[in-house]
Structures are given as C-alpha cells and as structure tokens.
C-alpha cells in the first residue's frame, strides 16, 4: 500500500528459513497463524529483534496500527519463535495514531508513529511525531513522548536504533516537516534527552497532495556507528541519501557538520508506482546500511558503508508476469548476503499495474536472495494474490543465523482494494543447506 493514503490494510508476517550457502536454497512454507489483534496494518520498518539468535534471549518485536477499536492505535506484540505471539499492547495515546515503525538494539525497543492522519481525523488537523520506548526488551514502556510541535505537520516519521561502538544504545527518528519541506533528524543516546532537531536536507515533493503539505517519505536505518537517511526530494522522484559514521562518538549525529555530504542517486524512484525508499540495517552485518527503491522498470538498491553511497544495483527487472513493483526492502544478511522483498504488480491490463485502488490489481509478495548484492536469485512468490487476499506489500525483514542455516523473518501487508479484508497473519517456511 502506498503511504499517501490513511486507511485500514492487513499485515501478514512471514518467517523464511533459508540455507546459508551462496544460492540461499529454496524453502517450504507451512500453514498460516494469526497474530494477536485484527483490522491491522503497518509499513516497512516494523519488525526487529533483541537478544542473541539461537538462545533463550532472542525475541522478535512487531508494531502495527489497528482500528478494531477506537481510537485508532499503535500496538505492540513479541515472539520468541515467530509462531506464538504475546497479547497485543497499546503504545499510543488518546489520539488516533497512524504510520507505525519499530526498531530495536541491545535491550531497547522504540516504536514511532504520527497523529492527525487517520481516517477518523478531520482534514487539515495538526500532525505530530510521537514515540514510546522500552529499555527492557518490551517488558515495560516509558510512555508517549512527543518529538515535534503540537501545531505542526509531519510526514510519516520512521525510527531506528543501534548499539554504538562506544557502548551506548542510540535511538533515532527522521521525518519531513510538511510545512517547510525540511528533512528532520533527532537522536537520544543511552536513554537520555532527545537532541535538538537538525535539518539534513529538504524536499519539494507533494506526493500526498498539496493540502497535505510536503511529503518526501523520509526513511532511516542504523547499525553500530552507521546511520543513513533517505528521502524523495521532488515530484520527479529524485532520491537523496545522507549518512554518517559516528567513529566512536555516540552523540556525533546530533551535530549537522559531522554528517557526510548528501548524495543524489542516478536513478529516480517511480512515483507513479507508489515509490518510496526503504532503509535497512542489521547487527548481523555491521558494515552496511541499504536503501532500496523501485524505478519504472526495476527493483534496485544502494549501500552506505560509512564513507560513500554506492551506485545502484538491480535486484529484478520487471518482465513477463510482473510489469511493476514497489515497497522494495533489502535486508543485510550474515556473511555478506542480502534478502530482498517487494510487491510485484501483475499484468492485469491496468494502465498502472500498481494501482492498489483498483479491483483488477493483483500484487504478489516476492522475495529474492543474493550472496553478495550483485547476483540475485529468481524471485520466489512468498504470498500470491488470491480472491481473499488481493494485494500484498510493505515487507519488513529480520535475517539471523541458526543451527539450520539462516532464518529470515519477514512481514508484509495483505488486503483487498476495497478493504473488505485486512488482518494479521504469520506464515512459517523452513529450509536447509
């Protein structure tokens, strides 16, 4: 689903168990299991983990939005194995909440969202960035914290977290100020006060309509000392990426002059095909942050290694059954590999095959793997379009090693264009070398 609309969609969470060889062997899928709660949806950047994979400390963390009861709320659930999930806990306050994201590092979990943009809010009301933080693996929560002004207007904030090389766990948030187009960044180190907002760049994009204000869909990911922020800079789909290497100083990102110069990608994101960039990072591969995106003809990504942003690399070129695609995410994997997921828009005769508002649209959730980011496997259909679940998109992933090889926990949305169906599901697949 494209982030320009505020509405109810579904989330399915998938666990892929792939082998650790260079080909990432095929996996077998089991039956679906329901997550707690219904009438739920979320966006990419909604699944993460704490603890050590393969031990009793490992824990998955998931955030989503639900309007099963009002106010529309951000909720949290966790799992030790991807099969059994805890009862959902509401994290947002008395206002309607939209646009959840989640990140974790050490024993810290941060969940973010914004208010004022649900289907139940009046048009034109203020939109505010809010977060809730746990420092004990989701056991207890700090309560709602407000990171932007109560009379402002923000565009889909995203949160990130990382354990820095100097020790402290940092939490981060990035968003676009819809009134002036500034790309805003704030951080908290070791659970301390949030830093003053700094402006990393600007956008003139108005992807959500002129009445909404500027909307660049800023996204952020972090690992160890690396942070990368990406956004759409204009209505033609120009993509920007700005990064930083903290180099052992946990608070360095709070100072604008410490950031690298902004990089402009050679590719343009496909605005027509619901384009928005997704940043990803993993403690299983601390040397890289990825930024994934869709062009008019392909699914692509770049990497930031602390020094520079790479040239774009192609995951899949739209061809045959799939004539479009979007919500592309690339998760770094152990041993330098990568796992990509995206919504593959099928050829159903639509002028825009990725028009999620059409009853004719069909989106399969696709996955591909790579040992090096250059050579990619043929995409696998993780979730196909059906009569009940017409559309699948918005993947988030966690990739970890275990005794059987590599486990990839991935979530995606599943829904119908008229929203007669949207719910939360888990599907488990297994594989070996």
Answer yes or no: are the C-beta atoms of 63 and 76 closer than 8 Å: yes
pLDDT bin (cut points 50, 70, 90) of residue 31 is low
The tally of CA atoms less than 13 A away on the side-chain side of residue 163 is 15
Question: pLDDT > 70: what percent of the chain?
Answer: 90
Give the tens place of pLDDT for each residue, 381-407. 888 999 888 999 998 988 888 777 778
CB burial of 359-383 (b: ≥16 within 10 Å; e: otherwise) equals eebbbbbbbbbbbebeebbebbebb
pLDDT of residue 414: 86
Residues in the chain: 433
The distance of Cα 80 from the centroid of its chain, to the nearest Å, equals: 21
pLDDT of residue 433: 22
State the Cα–Cα distance between residues 260 and 136, nearest whole angstrom. Answer: 33
Give the tens place of pLDDT for each residue, 329-355. 999 998 898 989 999 999 999 999 999
pLDDT over 70 at 8, yes or no: no
State the Cα–Cα distance between residues 402 and 124, nearest whole angstrom. Answer: 49
Give the tens place of pLDDT for each residue, 47-99. 999 999 999 999 999 999 999 999 999 999 999 998 889 999 999 999 999 99
pLDDT over 70 at 242, yes or no: yes
What is the C-alpha end-to-end distance of the chain, expressed in Å? 34
Give the tens place of pLDDT for each residue, 414-430. 888 998 888 767 776 65
Tokens standing for 358? 């059409």
Indicate the pTM of the whole model: 0.94
Mean pLDDT of 29-39: 71
Residues 6 or more apart whose CB falls under 8 angstroms from that of 81 comprise none
Give the tens place of pLDDT for each residue, 362-381. 999 898 888 899 999 888 88
Give the tens place of pLDDT for each residue, 288-322. 999 999 999 999 999 999 999 999 999 999 999 99
pLDDT over 80 at 6, yes or no: no
Ordered DSSP codes for 332-398: E-GGG-EEEEEEEEE-SS-SSTT-TTSTT--EEEEEEEESSSSS-PPPEEEE---SS--EEEEEEEE
How distant, in Å, are the alpha carbons of 138, 183, 296, 395, 421 from that of 199?
Answer: 30, 5, 30, 28, 40
Answer yes or no: are the C-beta atoms of 347 and 321 closer than 8 Å: yes
pLDDT of residue 243: 98
pLDDT over 70 at 29, yes or no: no
Closest listed residue to residue 204, CA positions, set 228, 229, 238, 230:
238
Give the tens place of pLDDT for each residue, 172-187. 999 999 999 999 999 9
State the Cα–Cα distance between residues 192 and 364, nearest whole angstrom. Answer: 43
Give the tens place of pLDDT for each residue, 122-172. 988 999 999 999 999 999 999 999 999 999 999 999 999 999 999 999 999
pLDDT bin (cut points 50, 70, 90) of residue 413 is confident
pLDDT of residue 30: 62
pLDDT of residue 429: 62
Residues 6 or more apart whose CB falls under 8 angstroms from that of 365 comprise 14, 341, 342, 343, 344, 381, 382, 383, 392, 393, 395, 412, 414
Give the tens place of pLDDT for each residue, 265-281. 999 999 999 999 999 99
pLDDT bin (cut points 50, 70, 90) of residue 14 is very low
State the Cα–Cα distance between residues 302 and 308, nearest whole angstrom. Answer: 10
Question: pLDDT > 90: what percent of the chain?
Answer: 74
Answer yes or no: are the C-beta atoms of 424 and 16 closer than 8 Å: no
pLDDT bin (cut points 50, 70, 90) of residue 19 is very low
Query: Where would I find the beta strands (DSSP E) of 226-376?
Result: 226-232, 238-245, 263-268, 278-282, 285-294, 298-304, 313-317, 322-332, 338-346, 363-370
pLDDT of residue 138: 98
């Amino acid at each position: 689903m494209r982030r320009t609309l505020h509405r109810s969609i579904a989330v399915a969470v998938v666990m892929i168990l792939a082998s650790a060889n260079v080909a990432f062997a095929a996996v077998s899928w089991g039956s679906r299991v329901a997550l707690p709660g219904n009438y739920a949806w979320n966006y990419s950047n909604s699944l993460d983990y704490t603890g050590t994979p393969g031990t009793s400390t490992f824990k998955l963390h998931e955030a989503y939005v639900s309007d099963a009861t009002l106010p529309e709320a951000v909720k949290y659930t966790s799992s030790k194995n991807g099969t059994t999930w805890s009862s959902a806990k509401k994290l947002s306050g008395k206002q309607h909440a939209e646009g959840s994201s989640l990140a974790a590092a050490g024993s810290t979990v941060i969940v973010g969202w914004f208010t004022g943009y649900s289907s139940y809010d009046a048009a034109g009301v203020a939109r505010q960035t809010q977060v809730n933080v746990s420092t004990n693996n989701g056991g207890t929560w700090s309560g709602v914290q407000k990171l932007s002004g109560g009379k402002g207007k923000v565009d889909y904030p995203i949160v990130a977290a990382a354990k820095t090389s100097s020790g402290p766990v940092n939490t981060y948030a990035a968003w676009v100020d819809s009134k002036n187009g500034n790309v805003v960044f704030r951080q908290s180190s070791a659970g301390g006060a949030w830093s003053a907002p700094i402006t990393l760049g600007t956008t003139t994009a108005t992807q959500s309509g002129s009445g909404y204000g500027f909307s660049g869909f800023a996204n952020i990911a972090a690992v160890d000392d690396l942070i990368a922020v990406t956004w759409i800079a204009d209505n033609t789909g120009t993509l920007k990426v700005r990064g930083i290497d903290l180099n052992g100083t946990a608070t360095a990102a709070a100072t604008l002059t410490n950031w690298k110069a902004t990089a402009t990608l050679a590719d343009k994101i496909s605005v027509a095909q619901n384009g928005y960039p997704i940043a990803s990072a993993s403690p299983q591969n601390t040397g890289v942050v990825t930024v994934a995106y869709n062009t008019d003809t392909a699914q692509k990504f770049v990497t930031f290694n602390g020094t520079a942003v790479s040239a774009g690399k192609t995951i899949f070129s739209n061809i045959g059954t799939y004539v479009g695609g979007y919500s592309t995410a690339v998760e770094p994997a152990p041993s330098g590999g990568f796992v990509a997921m995206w919504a593959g828009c099928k050829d159903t005769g639509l002028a825009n095959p990725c028009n999620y508002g059409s009853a004719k649209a069909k989106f399969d959730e696709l996955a591909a793997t790579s040992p090096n980011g250059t050579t990619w496997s043929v995409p696998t259909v993780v979730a196909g379009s059906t009569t009940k679940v017409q559309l699948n998109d918005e993947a988030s992933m966690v990739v970890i090693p275990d005794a059987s090889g590599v486990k990839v926990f991935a979530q995606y949305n599943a829904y119908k264009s008229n929203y007669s169906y949207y719910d939360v599901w888990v599907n488990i697949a297994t594989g070996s070398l």
